[in-house]
Amino acid sequence: MCSKRKSRAYRGGRLAVSSTPQGGPWVSWVDRPIIAEFVFFAVGAGLLCTLAIFQKTAMGEDVALLRGYVLPFFFGGGAAALVGYLNRRSRRHLMARLNAQAERDILLSASRAKSEVIANMSHELRTPLNAILGFSSAIKCETFGPMGHTKYREYIDDISHSGSHLLDLINDILDVSAIEAGKMTLHEDSINVATIAKEAFHVVECLAVENQVMLAYDIAENLPPLFVDERRFKQIVLNLASNAIKFTPPGGSVTLGLRLDDQGRHTLSVTDTGIGMSADELKNALTPFGQLNSHLARRHDGTGLGLPLTKGLVELHDGTLDITSTKGTGTIVTVVFPATRTTTVPTFSI
């Protein structure tokens, strides 16, 4: 029999062992190592023994989380089975604890994300605003003399650039919010996918020249029309292309690919020979406002909305966005639209 003479002393107390399902031993949840010792003891004794694991509540009450039995089975070399169950009260208590912990984790994560967003946004908003205020003040005060000085023309260009940057930033924030709230409406029609993609790619040519990055095309011929929101499709291409150029060093390349796969799905790809991303960096890049790291945040403009926004726009079209990246080698972003969005041009016989 399992008796008190066979009990094991633990932390100044006793691990009481019983051979019947009543009055089994109680072991603190933090004392899990002794459970293994108890199981080995039961197997060695070859008897049915009971076990209960408890957790103290905030009021000091002992609540049983698990009641179980150790029933030795001997097959060949021998084996032991621990069979347990949660009582109804214990299950409610355990689930309440787990839910409370999950809520605390969510609140902590949200608070941390909020702080990161505020820190990042303050830089993104202040920089162009300071430029607008500073340059406009210089023009207003005629710092370089009467109006007409060539310096004012440069300042006006800077003000226009800063204003456009702010507008793009605000539009991205509003678009992300609209997607998350399910409020974005698509205005869909059949488009010439190759022509529209090239038009969007053409917009980033100045950025590519500035960064000394070569642009290339790999577009299949005679692609059928694609049923999408033209403006949002351009936004997808523009976001992916500009993001690829930003993170590609001078002398690198960015390639726009378009083709129809064997399932009749339009496949858009943007391939760069840039810095690439690790698995952790990739996860962060797909999180709204998640710049890859502070070093890159200082080197490149942006709030980290490009990829999350693009992914949201793709999913609004029932498509998928996949990223393959190798640190130090480059990145391939592939967007696949469902075959149901591939339209055919009607033919007429005379």
pLDDT (0 to 100) of residue 168 = 79
pLDDT (0 to 100) of residue 348 = 41
pLDDT (0 to 100) of residue 12 = 31
Other CB atoms within a 10 A radius of the CB of residue 130 amount to: 11
Among left, alpha and beta (phi > 0; psi -120 to 50; other), residue 92 is: alpha
pLDDT (0 to 100) of residue 173 = 80
Structure tokens of 209?
């020249």
Q: Would you say residue 94 has pLDDT above 70?
A: no
CATH assignment of 188-341? 3.30.565.10
d(CA 120, CA 297): 9
Q: Give the CA distances from residue 247 to residues 26, 214, 220, 330, in Å, rounded to whole numbers and listed in that order.
A: 59, 13, 26, 9
State the pLDDT confidence band at 75, using cuts at 50, 70 and 90: very low
pLDDT (0 to 100) of residue 181 = 82
d(CA 167, CA 169): 5
Smallest CA-to-CA distance from 16 within 41, 8, 275, 103 is with 8
pLDDT (0 to 100) of residue 191 = 95
Residues 193-200 have a mean pLDDT of: 93
Per residue in 15-71, pLDDT tens? 333 333 344 444 444 455 666 666 666 666 655 566 665 655 555 666 555 555 555
End-to-end Cα distance, the chain = 99
61 vs 189 pLDDT, higher one: 189
pLDDT (0 to 100) of residue 350 = 44
d(CA 228, CA 340): 11
128 vs 314 pLDDT, higher one: 314
Residues 187-212 have a mean pLDDT of: 92
pLDDT (0 to 100) of residue 49 = 62
State the pLDDT confidence band at 189, using cuts at 50, 70 and 90: very high
Per residue in 109-153, pLDDT tens? 766 666 666 666 666 677 778 888 888 888 888 777 777 777 888
pLDDT (0 to 100) of residue 280 = 81
DSSP 342: B
Domain boundaries, the chain: 4-85, 113-180, 188-341
Residues 2-13 have a mean pLDDT of: 35
pLDDT (0 to 100) of residue 244 = 94
Q: What is the pTM of this model?
A: 0.60
Residues 148-167 have a mean pLDDT of: 81
Question: Which residues 6+ apart lie within 8 Å of 21 measured at CB?
Answer: 48, 50, 69
CATH assignment of 113-180? 1.10.287.130
d(CA 89, CA 82): 21
Lowest-confidence pick of 18-32, 283-297, 330-344: 18-32
Question: Which residues 6+ apart lie within 8 Å of 220 measured at CB?
Answer: 258, 259, 260
Place of tokens 């100044």: 12
Q: Give the CA distances from residue 158 to residues 124, 125, 155, in Å, rounded to whole numbers and listed in that order.
A: 16, 15, 5
